[in-house]
Amino acid sequence: MKKKSKPRTFHIDKRAASLAATPDEGGDGLLTTPQAAKWLGVSTQFLEIARHRGDGPEFVRVGPRCIRYTPAALRRWCEARSHVHTKEYAAK
């Protein structure tokens, strides 16, 4: 007869990817780095470098190796970078 073992407990980081992949009902789910890059029209490397430098869009750290972006944060980042004239961004 097989001995019953204690149920295994899991740290949140082991389930982070599946939790973050589940979109919420409002259509404002979390996006992976490749999905966010596609949404913005940039490379994943661009987002990773911008995240490291601190000048990219806001992100959610679900786990140590699980980064997600909200569409609202991507929109805010795009709006903050929009200009009407080339002189506006040349001054920075």
CATH of the domain at 72: 1.10.1660.10
Whether the per-residue pLDDT at 80 is higher than 50: the answer is yes
Q: State the Rg of the chain over Cα.
A: 19
Does residue 86 lie in a domain region?
yes
**Owning domain of residue 47:** 29-90
Does residue 4 lie in a domain region?
no
Alpha-carbon distance of 34 to 74, in angstroms, equals 13
Does residue 11 lie in a domain region?
no
Residue 13 tokens read as 């980081």
- pLDDT, tens digit (0-9, with 9 covering 90-100), for 9-67: 555 555 555 555 545 444 568 999 999 999 999 999 999 999 999 999 999 999 888 99
Total structural domains within the chain: 1
Does residue 46 lie in a domain region?
yes
- State the distance between the two ends of the chain, measured CA to CA, in whole angstroms: 73
Does residue 75 lie in a domain region?
yes
Whether the per-residue pLDDT at 91 is higher than 70: the answer is no
Does residue 15 lie in a domain region?
no
